[in-house]
Structure 1
Amino acid sequence: MPLSPEARSLAARCAPHVNELARRMARESFEELPGYAQLPDDVKDLEIAATARHGVRRFLKHVNGPDPDVPGRSERSGDHRLFRERAAQRAEEGMPLHLLLRTHALGVYALWQALRDVARPGEEAALVELVDVLLESHPGIVGAVAETYLDERSALEAEQRAQQRSLVRALLDGMVPPGHVLLDQLRLEGPALVLALGVDTPPVEGPVAVRRRLRRVQTVLDQAFGVEALALLDGDGGRVVVPRDAVPPEDLPRRLSRASGLRMRVAAVRVDGPEQITGAARTATEILRITRVCGLPPGLHRLDDVLLEFHLSRPDESSPRIAALLDPVAERPELLRTLRTHLAHRQDRRATADALGLHPNTVDNRLAKIAELTGIDLSSPRGTALVIAALLLRDSEG
């Protein structure tokens, strides 16, 4: 609906005071907001004042027609370009969103006060018309500002996460030397905890489902250690550095499994300083592999839990010959599965049979067949050590 001549006349009387009103907003109206006083003076006097001046002129132009300083140009009511640009700047500088939005709300109130102050007796109806226009345009501006701010913050946080992931990957892979300045960005200066996470059988999922699962896993890690865990996660598990001298909770695998919906195993290695993290990451990954090869159930694993198996899995000149001991049963997956399960259940034939859904006699027959084909006495300590080493070495060879 077109505004009355009285409303246009009332708004026109504010035009000479635009600069003064903008300065007053930036230096007086907004000062009452928590945190605003800490902003640099140039931000207040230049950018925020300029944004306030733009908002007032935009309102007056909408009421009275094109800006006389810009001949022939009429701004669309939905054009929020400058507001969006300023919102992106404030997001990059770290100004809280609530503070930014409150400056816009206070700006509207300051403009209403200015209109009220120049209104004359008998212009109450004209003042109501102008307030209607002012309040009608405010939601669109606030929406544009909030949307741009959140988009910018999301982009900045994604960039920061990508940079952090690159730093963590470089550290775990040994590309960051001790004492490097990048370690300060990761808050690594003393003892830390290195974890390897694994899922035995990752499901086939789309990228959205994977990202949601990894976010839940990250949340559990952060809550478990009371600090942001530096994690490199993927669909199969991942590697994690906890930047503090922490002890992993015994129920951590259960909590991770509940959050992810998958059975997860965790290997943990403590280090005294960041220079040991690369080696600890390799050790944790190897512990995880060994627990899988030996058929240990998912849970929390440390080096002491697989100390013998870890030693036996170290390759040397004898490794190919030891790995070859199981060549005769390499094409018999049911025999290898029985052997792994038997070792994982401390060579208890009944427990092995229950785990495989077999009769104990079937287990005995399969073990006898393995002994016959390989020539290894599975009932002797030496034979048990040989098959454990052979399984580990064959797995490490691919």
Structure 2
Amino acid sequence: MVVRVIATGAAPTPAELAELEESARDRADEQVPLGAVLDAYQIGAREWLRIVNGLDGGGGAFAEGTLAEIGDRVFRWLRSATGAVIAGYDVDNGIGAPDPRPGHVELLDALLAGDDHTAAADRFHLTVADQYWAVAVTVDPSSDETDDGVSHTVAAARKARRLRRQLDGIGRGEALYSVTACGGVALVPLRSRPATTEADEFGELKGRLEQLAQRMGVRTTCAVDLVRTEEIPSVIPQLQDLVAIARRKSTHRPVVRFDDLAVEFQLSRPTRATRLNAARLDPIADDPVLWRTLETYLDSECNSTSTAESLHVHPNTVQYRLRKISDLTGLNLSRPVDVLTALGAVLAANDRRRVADEDPAR
């Protein structure tokens, strides 16, 4: 970019500046001081001028222009780069990646536990909202977290700070959250504004949450519900279950509420029959093709054509696999009651696998 600007005199393109801004955002996530980053660009500009001066044979002119003109171009690039760096650090009105504000952690802990939160609120002069948007969020692994050439600890910390910064922007500095690189939970105060409804407020929140994936650079999934303060301890665990269900769906939805997955959520509730229900699918548990076909078929509202399109196979192939599933499990997927049984069994089996992955000793 610098060579092109010096050679042609053209300003950096929006794409080039966006790349600089993204780089600055990464440095902010790594908590590199803004002054150090700007100093690096100043040194770079000085080095370019030193190189150009070294090439000057005394005439003070080059094919690209006079020495003064080239110097002007270098400083034009520096001005553009400086603006991009500051924009990267100042994204979402927060310099760098701020830690939770004083008292936010204590207040969140009290709200999640259902304890008396007034002491924490009074101590730190915080206002407790009557209602909050409770959010459970999951964040898929980034390429840096799986790249052996990058420190996984640094990559995870950078991603967690980026998520905190995004939640600060969404909550306008008032959100309470507890997150890691994999996601977490947040409470965003409901802002009561004249001439707005709950649907309006949710629409705005949903739009911001849907942008998380773009800002984070990986897929994100959020489960949301509007809760009163006393409901927080009971609703947050349910939202974590809901977001786990949404994340496993073959058709991804970045933001879900309970009414979006009401049947799936209800069928996923643990009962004495859960283990027996999950066992109905043991005959196909080790067959990834049949398992994926069944999951996709259920997610596609039992439509074979849509299932075939999602799996990139012929509809006849789907029908063959469904017949094989029926033969192995005894479930007739053309009967509504067996479809519900299959859906509950898939949810129960997936939950059993998730628990096993989290605790291999179990």
Question: Is the shorter-chain TM-score for this pair beyond 0.5, marking a shared fold?
Answer: yes
Check whether the contact 1:227–1:242 (CA below 8 A) recurs between aligned residues: no
1:53 alignment counterpart? none
Aligned length: 239
1:349 alignment counterpart? 304
- State whether structure 2 residue 191 is matched by structure 1 residue 242: no
> Which one has more relative contact order, counting CA pairs under 8 Å at least 6 apart?
2
Say which SS state the counterpart of residue 252 (structure 2) adopts: coil
1:384 alignment counterpart? 339
Provide closer, same or farther for how the CA distance between residues 381 and 202 of structure 1 changes in structure 2, counting only shifts above 3 A: farther
Q: Quote the offset at 1:293 in angstroms.
A: 3.7
Q: Quote the offset at 1:233 in angstroms.
A: 1.8
Check whether the contact 1:376–1:383 (CA below 8 A) recurs between aligned residues: yes
Q: Quote the offset at 1:355 in angstroms.
A: 1.9
2:247 alignment counterpart? 292
User: Which one of 244, 248, 257 corresponds to residue 302 of structure 1?
Assistant: 257
Provide closer, same or farther for how the CA distance between residues 187 and 275 of structure 1 changes in structure 2, counting only shifts above 3 A: same
* Structure 1 residue identity aligned to 2:190: R
Check whether the contact 2:224–2:257 (CA below 8 A) recurs between aligned residues: yes
Q: Distance in 1 between matches of 2:299 and 2:144?
A: 27
Q: Quote the offset at 1:192 in angstroms.
A: 0.8
- Percent identity over the alignment is 32
Say which SS state the counterpart of residue 232 (structure 1) adopts: strand
Provide closer, same or farther for how the CA distance between residues 237 and 317 of structure 1 changes in structure 2, counting only shifts above 3 A: same
Q: Quote the offset at 1:251 in angstroms.
A: 2.5
Q: Quote the offset at 1:319 in angstroms.
A: 1.8
What TM-score do you get using the length of structure 2 for normalisation?
0.59
1:110 alignment counterpart? none
Check whether the contact 2:284–2:291 (CA below 8 A) recurs between aligned residues: yes
Q: Distance in 2 between matches of 1:356 and 1:253?
A: 28
Check whether the contact 2:326–2:332 (CA below 8 A) recurs between aligned residues: yes
User: Any stretches of 5+ residues in structure 1 without a counterpart?
Assistant: 1-153
Q: Which structure has the larger Rg over C-alpha atoms?
A: 1
* Structure 1 residue identity aligned to 2:136: A
Q: Distance in 2 between matches of 1:212 and 1:228?
A: 22
Say which SS state the counterpart of residue 265 (structure 1) adopts: strand
User: Which one of 268, 288, 302 corresponds to residue 313 of structure 1?
Assistant: 268
1:166-315 mapped onto 2 (5 Å cutoff): 167-169=107-109, 171-172=111-112, 174=113, 176-184=114-122, 185=124, 187-201=127-141, 203=143, 205=145, 206-245=152-191, 246-247=201-202, 249-272=205-228, 274-315=229-270
Say which SS state the counterpart of residue 187 (structure 1) adopts: coil
* Structure 1 residue identity aligned to 2:321: R
2:350 alignment counterpart? 395
What TM-score do you get using the length of structure 1 for normalisation?
0.54
Check whether the contact 1:293–1:340 (CA below 8 A) recurs between aligned residues: no
Q: Quote the offset at 1:395 in angstroms.
A: 2.3
1:1-398 mapped onto 2 (5 Å cutoff): 164-165=104-105, 167-169=107-109, 171-172=111-112, 174=113, 176-184=114-122, 185=124, 187-201=127-141, 203=143, 205=145, 206-245=152-191, 246-247=201-202, 249-272=205-228, 274-397=229-352, 398=355
Check whether the contact 1:270–1:280 (CA below 8 A) recurs between aligned residues: no
User: Any stretches of 5+ residues in structure 2 without a counterpart?
Assistant: 1-94, 146-151, 192-200, 356-362
Q: Deviations over 1:314-356 (max 9, x none)?
A: 1222222211111111111221111111111222222222222
Q: Distance in 1 between matches of 2:176 and 2:225?
A: 15
